[in-house]
Amino acid sequence: MLLPGTVQATATARAREFAFGDADFEALRVLVKQQTGINLSDSKRELVYGRVARRLRALGLRSFGEYRALLERGGAEEMVQFCNAITTNLTAFFRESHHFEFLSEHLKRLDRAGARRLRIWSAGCSSGEEPYSIAMTILETLQNYPRWDIRILATDLDSDVLEKAARGCYSVERVEGLGPRRRAQYLREVQTPSGPGFEVTPEVRSMVVFKQLNLMHQLPMKGPLDSIFCRNVVIYFDKDTQRELFTRMARLQRTDALLFLGHSESLFKVSEDYELLGKTIYRRN
């Protein structure tokens, strides 16, 4: 007797260009966990097939077994491409706008206290909308910002999206959420290979430094960091991986520093180094 979904699964398997068995999926799933900390559930099987199959075609390989052997031989360049293929990049300018409103109020408090040093880390910055939104928030909040020592570090595992982020070019659709005032102030119209688009102004781009970083590796920054944006990143990690990561992040922050998580993420039973202020905004204890 066929179980529910068996007919569909069988049809999918027949339609595949490459054979993709349990051993292939399990081996790649283990490798993803080792390299990135991301846990791939069984429901991600078709996603893994679709994204890795593109690498097989690009390399002219005939099977997932050949691809696994290539990775096992220590192909560092292909390991980067593999991680790029698996990671998901979904972002937008001023996504979860209440975070930037809270950041603005925090900056005002620092300004009144006479602070002139600011360090913010965008962990998992994707194609750059988040760190550029942080830069815009700073420009809008701190009228005397040229007198500040400001650094925004933006990191991601995916080297391809980092290249796009550093260019700061976006389609018309990607900047619609900014509104006419911010578009006029922080963007310039340009012609891209795919049509009309916008480019972030040099003033905004100069505030952000983009670097590739695997969160499973040693964190190279020394701190102290005033704010960390780690949004929609740890949702893919298991609890032990989350605990270890936030322990390392906490060491980079002083008391009252801020941590912003994604809308579906929480530090409940993960970290006691932070207290919840509300709406996925945390403060270092």
Q: Angle of helix 76-86 relative to helix 64-72, nearest 10 degrees?
A: 120
Rounded to whole angstroms, the Cα distance separating 76 from 81 reads 9
Say whether 156 is catalytic: yes
Rounded to whole angstroms, the Cα distance separating 258 from 285 reads 10
Rounded to whole angstroms, the Cα distance separating 29 from 39 reads 7
Q: How many residues are there in the chain?
A: 285
Q: Which of 55, 119, 156, 205 is catalytic?
A: 156
Scored b (16 or more CB within 10 A) or e, 35-59 reads: bbbbebeeebbeebbebbbebbeee
Asked if 166 and 129 count as a contact pair (C-beta separation under 8 A), the reply is: no
Rounded to whole angstroms, the Cα distance separating 210 from 162 reads 7
Asked if 108 and 187 count as a contact pair (C-beta separation under 8 A), the reply is: no
Say whether 42 is catalytic: no
Question: What is the residue-wise DSSP string for 120-135?
Answer: EEEET-TTTHHHHHHH
Question: How far is CA 113 from each of CA 99, 117, 149, 278, rounded to the nearest angstrom?
Answer: 21, 11, 15, 23
Rounded to whole angstroms, the Cα distance separating 1 from 80 reads 43
Q: Would you call 190 helix, strand, or coil by DSSP?
A: strand
* Residues identified as active-site: 51, 156
